């Protein structure tokens, strides 16, 4: 599970649960039907001490916000909060205080009466497939949050390598690679040569790395048009596209995800084995 902060939705798992559950409601399912579907979809989370808490936290928070909190979901979330769900991972990284604050805020919310049930409006279909295959763009880090990752004001390159769909998302989405180098000024296609790819998110060693993102555009305003500069079109590095069993990343989170990934992988060694499959063995 990719993680880039101690906030409830600063990890892939919570975003997957929230986006997919809302998607089921948007499709016209009842709350019970959406719950049954998300339980079936996320069986891989259940029974895992690291991922199951995230599932219940995200589902309870989402249901509460929509005025649809189910007693069993609330009970499970509070049970994991009392256990300090996922706290050992944050203690290892030295960021337990932030996660503890997140759990405290969630517990306060779940013990409050939920708002009235909100009407679910079917969203308009948005064109998410905005680039041509092999188009290269430079992303400019501008948000204040990127300062803590040491990338504020810098540029990073990303390239569209394919297109894909997901059962829990609408329309054709782009699949992108991100390159592992920062630039002070807008780079060129020449600057891309010889660069290694940046893994998507944090991975525990040893493991096979995820080297590409399926990116969803839920709202037009989430697309960072002012931060993107078109560089050109060139053949992409030889890498197999990852398979996507989980919901895609959102353009809304791309800047912070890239900033976090760059900081996490800086100075770490990972290698390509076989035909474009990257592995990380924990070397630094």
Range of the domain at 188: 135-280
DSSP secondary structure, the chain, as one string = --B-SSSTTSBHHHHHHHHHHHHHHHTT--HHHHHHHHHHHTTTTTT-TTTHHHHHHHHHHHHHHTT---HHHHHHHHHHHHTTTTHHHHHHHT-HHHHHHHHHHHHHHHTSPPPPPPPPPPPPP-----S-TTEEEEEEP-SGGGGGGT-TT-EEEEEEEEEE--TTS-S-EEEEEEBS--BSS---HHHHTTPPBPPSS--PSSEEPP--EEEE-SSGGGS-GGGEEEEEE-PPPS-PPPP--SPPEEGGGHHHHHHHHHHHHTT---EEETTTEEEE----
Considering the domain architecture, whether residues 156 and 196 belong to the same structural domain is answered as yes
Question: Per the domain annotation, does 204 fall within a domain?
Answer: yes
pLDDT digits (tens, 9 = 90+) for 178-190: 999 999 999 999 9
In a domain, 21, yes or no: yes
49-58, 143-152, 240-249, 263-272: least confidently modelled range: 240-249
Q: Are residues 176 and 218 located together in one domain of the fold?
A: yes
Please state, rounded to an integer, the average pLDDT across all residues of the chain.
86
- 169 and 256 belong to one structural domain: yes
Q: Is residue 130 part of a domain?
A: no
Q: What is the pLDDT at residue 247? A: 64
- Please compute the mean of the pLDDT values over residues 92-115 and round it to a whole number: 87
> Residue 241 — pLDDT band, cuts 50, 70, 90?
low
Shared-domain flag, residues 265 and 175: yes
**What strand order describes the sheet that includes 271-273?**
207-208, 277-280, 271-273
Check residue 205 and give its pLDDT.
66
Average the pLDDT over 102-118 and give the result: 92
Domain stops at, among 72, 95, 110: 110
Cα dihedral 66, 67, 70, 75, rounded to 10, equals 90
The count of domains in the chain is 2
* pLDDT, tens digit (0-9, with 9 covering 90-100), for 127-186: 899 999 999 999 999 999 999 999 999 999 999 998 888 766 678 899 999 999 999 999
Q: What is the pLDDT of residue 211?
A: 81
Q: Does a structural domain hold residue 195?
A: yes
Instruction: Indicate whether 149 and 260 sit together in one domain.
Output: yes
Answer yes or no: is 164 within a domain.
yes
Average pLDDT of 54-72?
A: 94
- Rounded to whole angstroms, what are the CA distances from 13 to 53, 63, 167, 195, 201? 10, 16, 16, 29, 12
Cβ–Cβ < 8 Å for 12, 54: no
pLDDT above 70 for 204 = no
**pTM, rounded to two decimals:** 0.59
At 283, the pLDDT band (50, 70, 90 cuts) reads: low
Residue 119 lies in a domain: no
153 lies in the same domain as 260: yes
pLDDT of residue 33: 94
% pLDDT > 70, the chain: 88
Q: What pLDDT is attached to residue 284?
A: 43
Q: Are residues 140 and 233 in the same domain?
A: yes
Q: How far apart are the first and last CA of the chain?
A: 21
Do the domain assignments include residue 115? no
Q: Specify the higher pLDDT residue, 233 or 11.
A: 233
More confident residue, 94 or 276: 94
Are residues 38 and 85 both part of a single domain? yes
Instruction: Supply the angle between the helices 96-110 and 71-82 in degrees, to the nearest 10.
Output: 150
Q: Is residue 58 part of a domain?
A: yes
pLDDT of residue 275: 54
227 and 184 co-located in one domain:
yes
Residues 199 and 95 in one domain: no
Identify the pLDDT of residue 246. Answer: 57
Residue 245 has pLDDT above 60, yes or no: no
On whether both 167 and 33 belong to a single domain, the answer is no
* pLDDT number for residue 168: 61
Q: In this structure, are 265 and 203 located in the same domain?
A: yes
């Amino acid at each position: 599970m990719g993680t880039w902060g101690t906030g409830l939705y600063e990890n892939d798992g919570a975003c997957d649960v929230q986006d997919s559950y809302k998607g089921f409601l948007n499709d016209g399912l009842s709350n019970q039907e959406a719950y049954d579907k998300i339980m079936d979809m996320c069986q891989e989370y259940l029974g895992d001490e690291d991922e199951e808490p995230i599932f219940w936290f995200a589902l309870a928070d989402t249901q509460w916000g929509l005025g649809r909190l189910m007693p069993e979901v609330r009970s499970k979330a509070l049970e994991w909060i009392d256990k300090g769900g996922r706290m050992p991972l944050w203690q290892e990284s030295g960021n337990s205080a932030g996660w503890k604050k997140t759990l405290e805020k969630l517990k306060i919310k779940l013990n409050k009466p939920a708002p009235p049930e909100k009407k679910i409006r079917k969203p308009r279909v948005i064109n998410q497939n905005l680039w041509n295959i092999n188009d290269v763009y430079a992303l400019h880090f501008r948000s204040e949050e990127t300062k803590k990752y040491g990338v504020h004001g810098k540029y990073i390159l990303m390239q569209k390598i394919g297109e894909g769909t997901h059962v829990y998302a609408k329309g054709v989405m782009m699949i992108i690679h991100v390159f592992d180098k920062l630039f002070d000024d807008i780079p060129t296609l020449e600057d891309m040569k010889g660069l290694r790819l940046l893994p998507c998110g944090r991975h525990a060693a040893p493991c096979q790395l995820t080297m590409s993102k399926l990116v969803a555009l839920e709202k037009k305003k989430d697309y960072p048009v002012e931060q993107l500069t078109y560089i050109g079109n060139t053949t992409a590095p030889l890498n197999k596209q990852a398979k996507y069993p989980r919901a895609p990343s959102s353009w809304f989170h791309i800047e912070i995800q890239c900033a976090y990934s760059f900081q996490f992988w800086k100075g770490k060694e990972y290698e390509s084995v076989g035909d474009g499959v990257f592995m990380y063995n924990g070397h630094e």
